[in-house]
Amino acid sequence: MQDILSIVKDAELTFNQRFIAMAKAAEDVIDPIQLSEDARYFVNQKVVYDMDEGKAPYRPRYVIPDYDKFMKHGSPFLMLEPPKDIWEAISNLMILYHHVPGSGGLPVYIGHLDRLLAPYDQDEEETYRAVAMLLKHVDRTMSDAFIHCDIGPYDTRVGRIILDLSAKMQRPVPNMSLIYNEHTSDDFALKAIEAGLVCSKPSFVNDAMYMKDWGSRYAVASCYNVLPIGGGGYTLGRLNLMELGKLAETKEVLMGDLLHRAVMAQCEQMDKRIQFIVDDCRYFENSFLHDEGLIEKDKFVGMVGIVGLAECVNTVLADRKREERFGSSEIANQLAEDIINKIHDMVTEYKPKHGSFYLHGQVGIAEDIGLTPATRIPVGEEPELPIHLAVTARLQKHFATGNGDLYPFDATAKKNPQAVLDIIKGAFKINMRYISFYSSDSDVIRVTGYLVKLSDIEKLESGRAVLNNSTVVGSGAKKGLKSLDRKVQGFKYA
């Protein structure tokens, strides 16, 4: 009950932020999901974690509606006809957004915006006004940087308008990804990079990699969560390899039975949570999204999040010198790859009651301290950028539901966006899945996976309420994960 009182009295939160926190607190009063003894052991050891999604999950964590279908057919439930012009198109979208469930009650995906709007782009000036209205609506009413839209791979006028507006508006919402492939012109990619260096979005998606996993019908949502369109992610579990490394102490113990037990425990927790959503709460039976074919049950998957690979490897190898640690040592990097390969095999073999499970590089939560997100090299231990990129790409291979890293560039890159494009092209050639970048002098910057406005964090830290939910999360990540201290890449000597 103390929690409830502290939420109600938290003056740093707006009414809506308290409202969401209250709903969450209510959900957590009950605890209907029973885990096996072994799974409970790993939960207690902080190895297996349900991401605090709520103890009684009654909806999938990530819902990716088929917005293309919605634009084509409208929605009988919402009494919407297919749009006839750009204004109806954005109006229909804004209406649907309010009916898409997601973490914190807000959608994590608002569509492939240039693809959705290009058919209605008749007049440049009118389209500009309409897209501006849409982006403003999303930012002001659904203020959460886990809200994500996609653009590309083709160069369209709407795509360019979205980039122009993003650079101009300087807002963290929505998060944005550019699907990049051989059809993306250098000119469009450079425009996206120029925007990225002033507002930290879009990130670049290696379409070739994700095509192999999902075909063309996938979306990037939330931080960089890749999920099937017309489906989504039921739940995101999180396997904390740092804590597992501490339990194991040695490589032999880890790679013996312990890793297998932990992965099975994580899978069991997710499996049971998904059964609760589907079988007990019967989510799909009372959703018009499902009835109208905007989502389908067999397009939902479970995501096994990975964090703390770096700490795990360094702990079990007990190496203290920098050159022997993860990121810089081939022995450590090879062990990291072996761990991920093993986890991938186990997760692929596991057969949950609903859907399948895939790996995801989890970006961390605000409370994490000394825990490196996903499979990344820790802040402060980054090798030179070419090596950093190669190690990162190597460890992203199995992460079909998304993995990414971020690279702050110093301001000289703004004068030479081609250099950033060269780096992205090279990284994608060596099978990097996803690249985020920003300029170290920007106000809107990326914290592990989502965007925050530095000036808002300062406001929050001085005790004032701010519009954006993720500012609260970002403020925590700044302190615990040192995430604003990522090595800046650029001009050192000339």
| Binding region for other proteins (CB under 8 A) | 384-387, 389-390, 409, 412-413, 415-416, 418-423, 425-427, 429-430, 489-494
Backbone angles phi, psi at 223, to 5 degrees: -70, -70
Cα 367 to Cα 409: distance, rounded to the nearest angstrom = 27
Q: In 10 A of CB 114, how many CB atoms?
A: 26
Nearer to other proteins by C-beta: 97 or 409?
409
Cα 33 to Cα 21: distance, rounded to the nearest angstrom = 21
Question: Minimum distance between the CB of residue 488 and other proteins, rounded to whole angstroms?
Answer: 12
Report the DSSP beta bridge partners of residue 226. 220
Q: Is the dihedral of CA 86, 92, 95, 96 positive or negative?
A: negative
Question: Minimum distance between the CB of residue 249 and other proteins, rounded to whole angstroms?
Answer: 32
Rg (C-alpha) for the chain, rounded Å, is 22
Of the candidates 123, 54, 137, the residue with the CA atom closest to the CA atom of residue 94? 137
Nearer to other proteins by C-beta: 369 or 494?
494
* 3-state secondary structure (DSSP) of residue 102: coil
Nearer to other proteins by C-beta: 279 or 384?
384
Nearer to other proteins by C-beta: 354 or 397?
397
Question: Minimum distance between the CB of residue 423 and other proteins, rounded to whole angstroms?
Answer: 5
**In this structure, what token pair is assigned to residue 465?**
């309420």
Nearer to other proteins by C-beta: 234 or 409?
409
* 8 A C-beta contact, residue 346 and residue 264: yes
Would you call 174 exposed, middle or buried from its count of C-beta atoms within 10 A (0-12, 13-18, 19+)? buried
Q: What is the DSSP letter of 433?
A: -
Backbone angles phi, psi at 252, to 5 degrees: -65, -45
Q: Is the dihedral of CA 72, 77, 78, 84 positive or negative?
A: positive
Question: Minimum distance between the CB of residue 196 and other proteins, rounded to whole angstroms?
Answer: 14
Residue type, 459: K
Question: Minimum distance between the CB of residue 327 and other proteins, rounded to whole angstroms?
Answer: 13
Nearer to other proteins by C-beta: 315 or 436?
436
Question: Minimum distance between the CB of residue 210 and other proteins, rounded to whole angstroms?
Answer: 20
Question: Minimum distance between the CB of residue 411 and other proteins, rounded to whole angstroms?
Answer: 10
Would you call 92 exposed, middle or buried from its count of C-beta atoms within 10 A (0-12, 13-18, 19+)? buried
Question: Minimum distance between the CB of residue 392 and other proteins, rounded to whole angstroms?
Answer: 12
Nearer to other proteins by C-beta: 26 or 430?
430
Cα 401 to Cα 447: distance, rounded to the nearest angstrom = 19
Nearer to other proteins by C-beta: 425 or 464?
425
* Residue 95 to residues 67, 79, 202, 231, Cα–Cα distance (Å): 12, 11, 24, 19
Nearer to other proteins by C-beta: 298 or 384?
384
Question: Minimum distance between the CB of residue 399 and other proteins, rounded to whole angstroms?
Answer: 20
